Structure 1
């Protein structure tokens, strides 16, 4: 029962320029804001692609000095951020543009924090109250997503791991939100099918977990349902027969998932994060495999919520089991595995994974409590 005598705060993100060709507006936007020396933060793969080279050329054609930083891991670590901050200062940059998927966005946002905040990076960890130290001005920050998964382009946080233990830390502050997002679905058209599938299931996980998260946020819940609908109608085509419509729907649904999960995430993300930390598993793939099992854990007692998700997905039956079966089938249609053993997990990993999952920051917002034994059983079931 919701207590309507409790005062709550809701907030929603920044300006989003969305549509085919939106990235072409980037040079004019920089110049209109008196900016001419951007640091482009991306990952090693994106830095070599034709569309990235075209973005650079569009900037230099307007006499904008471009510096690129792409020396980052696929699961970013603290040293990535420190190196990027050094490049920003050494080359006298005046703004930061994150271009890519979640890794590039996380590193770019953490560099934004790092420039004028000089404590140890992890003293700003939100889980230990570090947001109170985010008090200084930050560089002008722009994001350009090239995948439809994390939705990090509209976020206010960065997940960065420790170099040695790979423990994930979360850096959060409202001022770390991008001033503007250029969301151009054309930039996703050349993505390989596996990346499209894994990142797309990441976006679906965000929307589904946000919808059932225990916090009261009806605006975020409504956005999550529409995100689920858009992904359900477009992800198979986006992976197997990509066209502008399917890739556009996936990109906007990814943005919506990241807006929605300010309501919270849950058990699936707490199952997935340790796979990235321990085994360097792609985050979207880890979510994809764990999603049906996590939703099966949550379904009892949430019949109303699962019925609404089933209706949103236009399933013939409106039960929790129908939703779960649909998720297994969706992974198969996308060419993704349905068992952890197929992504390198072994029985001897389960104890360590269970410890890491219990320590994760997402499951406290799950609609029902999750114990270490629950995590162990879920990993064992998914193996």
Structure 2
């Protein structure tokens, strides 16, 4: 049973400090490791929130001199990473602290790579074997999540888009794991309800798609089922009437989703990624809208897995057939759009979206094959 008045340390494999108030340990940790000039990497929203100013003040009180980089797009681009690398060197930093959600974490992790690796950034793209070039040491890296969404604070990869083509690349290496995560649910309380809802649906999607993805990884399956239960039973309260228990469950479920999707993702992310690339849609929102449609496509032939997921979300025994309806109702309860047309998608967008979706790097782990024509039809159904 989770005790919200306690703090915890566990490893998987990154060391995670979890609990209310653990953010106060960041300064002492830096001092203990003889780090005095961290680059704090965050996004513009988090930069303006009160808790971020408190973090800076607390660091300065113990003799730490932080620099801040927050100049990044909603869906991070290569140029964001290059500017961040310049900021690291320009301020003569000795460590990097990623503070925020998935965007800030992706940019921070990519800057970690960039500092001592000078090839073109996309030479390190994991999809073309670029991880073999990750040979140099990297700066001391710490992560501080402020959303319960991507879970990328425990990840070892970053997704960055090309500035011109908007094609997404994966930068990957075990060297890019954080040394420690300070996961403090208090930091999620200042976020707008929309961000809580959209990032929460992102975390739920990670767990569900990981469980459905093909391949054999019973450890990831078990983690994903537990993550679904935590998020499915807390996301509405965390969004509408948040308390520390619901926020804590969401943060743990998000961390679990990021671990689980080492197994793979699938059609929902393949539908969502092009929406972010072409239309700059918030990733969590894109997943929320696409999730019912992806689940509907994959249902036939995997009824037993759907029954298992439905049971984990307290829908009862053998209720996989109502899982899609449940997700649609969940989106409505959270106040999220229920169609692509509500976020500006038009008929003329469908073909270019489908062309990107069928090439998306998440698709190979989907349990079913999806053609470009089928992607077009799914996007039309979602309009």
The bucket for the TM-score relative to the shorter chain is over 0.9
Cα distance between partner residues in 2 of 1:344 and 1:253: 30
Q: Equivalent residue for 2:225?
A: 225
Do structure 1's residue 60 and structure 2's residue 60 form an aligned pair?
Answer: yes
Q: 1:77 touches 1:161 (CA, 8 Å); kept in 2?
A: yes
Cα distance between partner residues in 1 of 2:85 and 2:316: 52
- Secondary structure of the 2:375 match is helix
Do structure 1's residue 300 and structure 2's residue 300 form an aligned pair?
Answer: yes
Alpha-carbon distance, 1:12 to partner: 4.3
Q: How does 1:69-148 map to 2 (within 5 A)?
A: 69-148=69-148
Q: Equivalent residue for 2:3?
A: none
Q: 2:49 touches 2:190 (CA, 8 Å); kept in 1?
A: no
- Secondary structure of the 2:110 match is helix
Gaps of 5+ in 1: 1-10
TM-score w.r.t. the length of structure 1 is 0.96
**After alignment, is 20-29 or 314-323 more displaced?**
314-323
Question: 1:201-235: CA deviations, max 9, x gaps?
Answer: 00000000001110211101100000000011100
Q: Equivalent residue for 1:269?
A: 269
Q: 2:354 touches 2:375 (CA, 8 Å); kept in 1?
A: yes
Cα distance between partner residues in 2 of 1:313 and 1:40: 37
**After alignment, is 12-21 or 289-298 more displaced?**
12-21
Q: How does 1:238-317 map to 2 (within 5 A)?
A: 238-316=238-316
Q: Equivalent residue for 1:190?
A: 190
Q: 2:304 touches 2:320 (CA, 8 Å); kept in 1?
A: no
Q: Equivalent residue for 1:325?
A: 325
Q: Equivalent residue for 2:342?
A: 342
Q: Equivalent residue for 2:354?
A: 354
Alpha-carbon distance, 1:19 to partner: 0.6
Cα distance between partner residues in 1 of 2:317 and 2:374: 28
Cα distance between partner residues in 1 of 2:341 and 2:330: 19
Q: 1:149 touches 1:199 (CA, 8 Å); kept in 2?
A: yes
Q: CA 1:12–1:368 in structure 2 vs 1: closer, same or farther (change >3 Å)? A: farther
Gaps of 5+ in 2: 1-10
Q: CA 1:319–1:377 in structure 2 vs 1: closer, same or farther (change >3 Å)? A: farther
Q: 2:308 touches 2:320 (CA, 8 Å); kept in 1?
A: no
Alpha-carbon distance, 1:319 to partner: 3.5
- Secondary structure of the 2:234 match is helix
Alpha-carbon distance, 1:337 to partner: 1.3
Q: 2:151 touches 2:258 (CA, 8 Å); kept in 1?
A: yes
Question: 1:231-283: CA deviations, max 9, x gaps?
Answer: 11100000110111111110110000000000000000000000001100000
Alpha-carbon distance, 1:317 to partner: 5.5
Q: Equivalent residue for 1:376?
A: 376
Alpha-carbon distance, 1:320 to partner: 3.1
Cα distance between partner residues in 1 of 2:175 and 2:75: 23
Structure 1 segments, 4+ long, off by >2 Å, are 316-321
- Secondary structure of the 2:170 match is strand
Q: 1:296 touches 1:320 (CA, 8 Å); kept in 2?
A: no
Q: 1:123 touches 1:130 (CA, 8 Å); kept in 2?
A: yes
Q: 1:13 touches 1:155 (CA, 8 Å); kept in 2?
A: no
Do structure 1's residue 32 and structure 2's residue 25 form an aligned pair?
Answer: no
Question: What CA RMSD, in Å, does the superposition of the two structures yield over aligned residues?
Answer: 1.0
Cα distance between partner residues in 1 of 2:147 and 2:39: 20
Alpha-carbon distance, 1:190 to partner: 1.4
Do structure 1's residue 155 and structure 2's residue 130 form an aligned pair?
Answer: no
Q: Equivalent residue for 1:20?
A: 20
Cα distance between partner residues in 1 of 2:247 and 2:139: 31
Q: Equivalent residue for 1:7?
A: none
